[in-house]
Structure 1
Amino acid sequence: MPAQKESASVRPLPFSPRPVALSATLAVNEAIARKRREGRRVLPLGFGEAGIPIHPALTRELGAAAGKGAYGPVAGSAALRAAAAGYWARRGLPTDPSTVVAGPGSKPLLYALLTALGGDVVVPAPSWVTYAAQTSLVGAEPIRVATPPGEGGVPSPALLADAVVRARARGRDVRAVVVTLPDNPTGTIASEDTVRRLCAVAREQDLVVISDEIYRDLVHEPGRTAPSPARHAPERTVVTTALSKSLAAGGWRLGVARLPDGPFGRALRDSLLGVASEIWSSAPAPMQHAAAYALAEPPELVEHVDRSRRLHAAITGAVADRFAAAGARVARPEAAFYVYPDFGPVRDALRANHGVRTAGELTHLLLERYAVGVLPGSSFGDAPASLRMRVAPSLLYGEDDEQRLAALASPAPASLPWIAAALDRLGDVLADLSEPVNAGQPALT
């Protein structure tokens, strides 16, 4: 039937949809795509994608399970939960498969956990954009607590207790604290002592610790590990991980959570499964099969992760050097594939030359004038006047899988022509930032 014409008596709805902004990390990716459609030569340094090809063995396992169409258990298949338990046991966290819950990515798992726990959540400042955003989405309040100098991902234990006490004094119900080990956005690792002290505060203040350890296998220094709160406060710590970073399977969407053992953990599991049953029913069966293979850590995947770790270390180090040469203060990246430079030391020059006063203005300038896509620190919880930004160099590894595989195999990936050209362009852009803008002189593009 043809659509009926709108009647004059039809009234507009008396409400609007709830305003929810697009995640900053995804928004910058779309902004970079727009610049490319305009014909600009873009440096894509905003999106946190691992930038390496999927290993053929994972593709093989996914293909072998492509015909699996049944829903399966809400918590995940027995094979997947056993593989995840083994993965954590090899990292010093003995795990019963009954405490493992799988979901379609670690982001949905985090949202389901926050829903199950209820209450407000302490998040590090700075921290990954999703922690605060999801806390707000479930109707709670994110309470930002600064991280110790040089130790990203963990709220300062010295400030945590005071923040919780103050929040509760104004009627807030604070129940959890989120940590990231290693950290996104800074690429640093909190010390064992900081994690131990944070766990002591969590016990004193009756907080659940949600430990996002998705970058755990991408510590740059061989033999070094990131500390886990589950070793110091096992009765109250939830650990999450996924395939999206170490194995670059972000689009496959599969994550796992390790819940505490004991009465609280069992009650949390029941609640989490109830939430999951109403949101995703069960993670995709073919992906569960591939993830079980991955979490069992066959030698070819262990080697693949090790090569990617070395590549991330080499390129983040080279990028950090370019920012330091431009006058920024930069903590040396220790894990993952992020750099978090601070242009505070050249604030006066940026204001005089470009009228820049905030990180948002600085990153807007970088995108619009120079076609360099990065994210302002304010997206991660920094004060707007801060001049910090998150830089993700992992999409510089190559335009296609041939180049990316060459980068993985190279003992000196920063010297490969396509990566060296990107690094040189970044250096030129950063140098141009500090040069006075002369009338009639075209900006570097």
Structure 2
Amino acid sequence: MPGDGLPVPAGLSAVLAAAAGRAAEQPVGGAPALREAACGYWERRGLPTRLGRVAAAPGAPALLVALTAALGGDVLVPRPCAAWWAPYARLLGRPVFHVPTPAESGGVPDPYALLETVRRVRDEGGDPRLLVLSVADDPTATVAPPELLHATAEAAAGEGLHLVSDETWRDTLHSPHDTVLLSPAEMLPGQVTVVTDLAGALLPPSWPAAVARFPADATGRDLHARVLDVLTALGARVAEPVAAAAGHALGEPADVVERRAAAVRLHASVAAAAHAAVVAAGAFARPPQAGRHLYVDLGPLRAGLAAHGVGDAQELEDLLTTRLGMPAPGGHRFGDDLGALRVRLATGPLLGDTDEERTECLTSPSPLELPHVQRALMSLRSVFDDLRDDAQRRESPR
């Protein structure tokens, strides 16, 4: 998960420090105070939640492992998808099937491709039970339109699939007043478990905490109980100081809300500038709508990349990581085809090298005009322009 690159807010640090001397353990699934804070968080987003249908864990991966183990069967995910989804299912010995996404967005499978994949898996003796999706997506940084989500949710429901909606990035919309984000739990309240990793918008990635919201019916009750059994077997408890900070953040006091909004504005502006740079060089990328990253397809520059010995996503990752001086994970890490020349670029590394520079980005009314940000974006443009020029030189004369 790409971090925001920013210093920890003073308010959160104070809450964590105040709880550092607590010796008691959080119970598996989270203490009532943490779960009540999660209920309030979802209530404010139009998802009324019962206290007995919430579980907390030290990060979303623990919750997904527990859900996959509790539900059984085969797992369906979009192509591409968050890098950590498929490995945890495979860890449990569960087959994972990637379903193509439509051209306009990632995170949610095409409904017709989903139906065809389910049919094929069953014809081959498989047992698909779980579909994991994300409306605000990592890695593509897009937000699936409501009509697509509705069609896919209906298709999944018709096939008896349980949906896990990873809503880690829902609070990082770049244009929150212009982008409509719906949770599938609003459409299928009895068949959707919502998972939110607080590292998306509320906590630093080094403070692992995530919460899950289960359906309110008997199915949700039974699934919640089975998930708690798995979390108990794993010893997956949120550390007490982190739980205190998580509860504070989920309560969304003014300082947390203001900091989150400032961070989202910052990353949105840098992502837009990075998107303009890569598109101007001839690469393809959907305009980023959420998160702090963008997903770039360098297929149009394949001829130039071949001159550098790049023929697949791993080789592209190696080249760009070296040239950019920042991580550039290839699309194969997100379940994409190895032969496709795609990478995810994070915006955090473009904010500076020191806490002072990154804090200046957060407080500046014009962060793109700061010298260190301009240098970082200029370096990005230079790398992609060089690849464009290489591709043009290698094109056959007309």
Normalising by structure 1, we get a TM-score of 0.85
Structure 2 counterpart of 1:134: 88
CA deviation profile, 1:267-290 (whole Å, cap 9, x unmatched): 101100101111125321221121
CA deviation profile, 1:37-96 (whole Å, cap 9, x unmatched): xxxxxxxxxx61121221111111111111222123212111111110000010010111
Structure 1 counterpart of 2:214: 259
Q: Report the residue type matching 1:423 in the other structure.
A: L
Matched, 1:278 2:233: yes
Structure 2 counterpart of 1:113: 67
Matched, 1:212 2:166: yes
Cα gap change, 1:72/1:344 in structure 2, threshold over 3 Å: closer, same or farther?
closer
* CA deviation after TM superposition for structure 1 residue 237, in Å: 0.4
* CA deviation after TM superposition for structure 1 residue 321, in Å: 1.0
Structure 2 counterpart of 1:11: none
Matched, 1:63 2:17: yes
* CA deviation after TM superposition for structure 1 residue 294, in Å: 0.8
* 1:393-404 → structure 2 map (5 Å cutoff): 393-404=347-358
Structure 2 counterpart of 1:157: 111
Secondary structure, aligned partner of 1:375: coil
Structure 2 counterpart of 1:354: 308
Secondary structure, aligned partner of 2:129: strand
Structure 1 counterpart of 2:188: 233
Q: Report the residue type matching 2:298 in the other structure.
A: F
- Would the aligned equivalents of 2:271 and 2:294 in 1 still touch at CA under 8 Å? yes
Q: Report the residue type matching 2:98 in the other structure.
A: R
Secondary structure, aligned partner of 1:129: coil
Alpha-carbon separation, structure 2, partners of 1:281 and 1:361: 36
For these two proteins, the number of residue pairs brought into alignment is 390
Matched, 1:384 2:338: yes
Alpha-carbon separation, structure 2, partners of 1:203 and 1:168: 16
* 1:137-148 → structure 2 map (5 Å cutoff): 137-148=91-102
RMSD between superposed Cα atoms in Å: 1.5
- Would the aligned equivalents of 1:179 and 1:211 in 2 still touch at CA under 8 Å? yes
Cα gap change, 1:368/1:290 in structure 2, threshold over 3 Å: closer, same or farther?
closer
Structure 2 counterpart of 1:364: 318
Structure 2 counterpart of 1:373: 327
Alpha-carbon separation, structure 1, partners of 2:168 and 2:182: 13
Alpha-carbon separation, structure 2, partners of 1:396 and 1:118: 41
Q: Report the residue type matching 1:337 in the other structure.
A: R
- Would the aligned equivalents of 1:50 and 1:248 in 2 still touch at CA under 8 Å? no
Cα gap change, 1:307/1:370 in structure 2, threshold over 3 Å: closer, same or farther?
closer
* CA deviation after TM superposition for structure 1 residue 225, in Å: 4.3
* CA deviation after TM superposition for structure 1 residue 343, in Å: 1.3
Secondary structure, aligned partner of 1:354: coil
- Would the aligned equivalents of 1:397 and 1:407 in 2 still touch at CA under 8 Å? yes
Secondary structure, aligned partner of 1:391: strand
Structure 2 counterpart of 1:89: 43
Secondary structure, aligned partner of 2:284: coil
Structure 1 counterpart of 2:154: 200
Structure 2 counterpart of 1:37: none
* CA deviation after TM superposition for structure 1 residue 370, in Å: 5.7
Cα gap change, 1:350/1:62 in structure 2, threshold over 3 Å: closer, same or farther?
same
Structure 1 regions of 5+ residues with no counterpart? Answer: 1-46, 438-445
Matched, 1:73 2:27: yes
Q: Report the residue type matching 1:137 in the other structure.
A: L
CA deviation profile, 1:309-328 (whole Å, cap 9, x unmatched): 10110011111111111110
Secondary structure, aligned partner of 2:296: coil
Cα gap change, 1:330/1:72 in structure 2, threshold over 3 Å: closer, same or farther?
closer
2:76 to 122, 139, 150: 122
* CA deviation after TM superposition for structure 1 residue 368, in Å: 4.2
Q: Report the residue type matching 1:197 in the other structure.
A: A
* CA deviation after TM superposition for structure 1 residue 218, in Å: 0.3
Alpha-carbon separation, structure 2, partners of 1:401 and 1:225: 34
* CA deviation after TM superposition for structure 1 residue 242, in Å: 2.4
Alpha-carbon separation, structure 1, partners of 2:6 and 2:97: 35
CA deviation profile, 1:309-352 (whole Å, cap 9, x unmatched): 1011001111111111111011110010111111122223332x
Secondary structure, aligned partner of 1:252: coil
Alpha-carbon separation, structure 2, partners of 1:316 and 1:298: 27
Cα gap change, 1:373/1:76 in structure 2, threshold over 3 Å: closer, same or farther?
closer
Matched, 1:171 2:125: yes
Structure 2 counterpart of 1:23: none
* CA deviation after TM superposition for structure 1 residue 357, in Å: 2.0
- Would the aligned equivalents of 2:2 and 2:346 in 1 still touch at CA under 8 Å? yes
Q: Report the residue type matching 2:279 in the other structure.
A: A
Cα gap change, 1:225/1:66 in structure 2, threshold over 3 Å: closer, same or farther?
farther
Alpha-carbon separation, structure 2, partners of 1:187 and 1:278: 34
Structure 2 regions of 5+ residues with no counterpart? Answer: 392-398
CA deviation profile, 1:73-124 (whole Å, cap 9, x unmatched): 2121111111100000100101111111000111111111111111111010
Alpha-carbon separation, structure 1, partners of 2:323 and 2:250: 44
2:249 to 294, 298, 301: 294
